[in-house]
Structure 1
Amino acid sequence: MDMVFPSTEDWKSDASARGRSLALQGHLENSYGGPWRFNEVIGHIRLNFLGSQIRGEYFGVSAKRVLRTRKKLFLYKTHKLAPEVSLPFKASNNQIWDAVQEYIEDCRSELRGRYVDAELLSTIGPHIDWQKIAFENR
């Protein structure tokens, strides 16, 4: 979270202004759950591997009406948000990563009108040892 400072240029020399700024920042983090990238999170998808398939469990907010608050209770909604994506036999890391991306795209089509943020997954996905994750418990 960016620091909240007074608009004057001499805030660095004013200890009380720094203290008020830090107090305000602490209050905002305690009240609203810290620095979030988005103003409204309404659910999340937990990816998992079952045999040679990729599935995603969906957890959504429990309220009928979604209000702007950082204190939400996410409830289990379904064991399968989109149809499973099958992995090729002895799939490479790149093949598994392609299947994960395909599953995320399928989830996007199931959640029309909602934004599915996979930016961080897209950033780290090519560097993950997907074979170890997918085939570790076989």
Structure 2
Amino acid sequence: MRQTVAGYEPSEQTKLRVQDHQYQTYGPWIFNEIIGYIRLHFLGNQVRGEYFSAEKKRNPISRRKVFTYRTWKLAPEVTIWGQPATNEEIFAAIREYVQDCRAELRRDRFIDDEILERLGPHLDWQQLLRAKIKRK
């Protein structure tokens, strides 16, 4: 179905202006409705996550949200068993932690883990875990 304005097809220039206005006002669609995030990290052989949110009584679509630290532990930590753990075991523990976080959030909240699911199987989690331990 073609998009029309008052029964007429808008010009290409009009379409571009509308798209530009939407981008300038709201930013990329995939990120304009974020009201919080979980920062995942390793502590020894555990997966943990800190929760930050911009929740208010009303959460309008905006590019100017201020995220506030809410808690150092949204869900109980998940231990990575098997030392040294394989990349698959580490990624499984991360996925388990994210799933536990889903259970802790309000019902009207959604965790978008699409990028994690796409990249996770291809990352060298062992190297990331070792790098984190070395810095301490």
Does structure 1 conserve the Cα–Cα contact (< 8 Å) formed by 2:36 and 2:55?
no
Structure-2-length-normalised TM-score:
0.80
Rounded to whole Å, the distance in 1 between the matches of 2:86 and 2:29 is 36
Secondary structure of the corresponding residue to residue 47 of structure 1: strand
- The ranges of structure 1 where at least 4 consecutive aligned residues each deviate by more than 3 angstroms after the TM superposition are 4-8
Deviation string, structure 1 residues 72-95 (Cα, Å, up to 9, x no partner):
221111111111111122111010
1:81 maps onto 2:77 in alignment: no
- In the alignment, is the contact (CA less than 8 A) between 1:44 and 1:59 conserved in 2? yes
Partner of 1:118: 113
Scaled by the length of structure 1, the TM-score of the pair is 0.79
Q: CA deviation at 1:62?
A: 4.5
CA contact (8 A) 1:5 1:21 kept: no
Tell me which residue corresponds to 1:70: 62
* Structure 1 position 44 matched with structure 2 position 37: yes
Deviation per CA, 1:46-103: give whole Å up to 9, x if none: 111111111111111142x133322322111111111111112211101001100110
Structure 2: 5+ residue stretches without partners: none
Distance in 1 of aligned mates of 2:119 and 2:16: 33
| Larger CA deviation: 112-121 vs 88-97 | 112-121
Cα 1:53–1:85 change in 2 (3 A) is same
Please give the root-mean-square deviation of Cα atoms over the aligned residues, in Å. Answer: 2.2
Unaligned runs of 5+ in 1: 12-16
Is 1:21 aligned to residue 15 of structure 2? yes
1:69 aligned partner, one-letter code: I
Distance 1:45 1:69 in 2: 20
Question: Taking every aligned residue pair, what percent have the same amino acid on both sides?
Answer: 42
- Relative to structure 1, the CA distance from residue 56 to residue 5 in structure 2 (aligned partners, 3 Å threshold; closer, same or farther) is farther
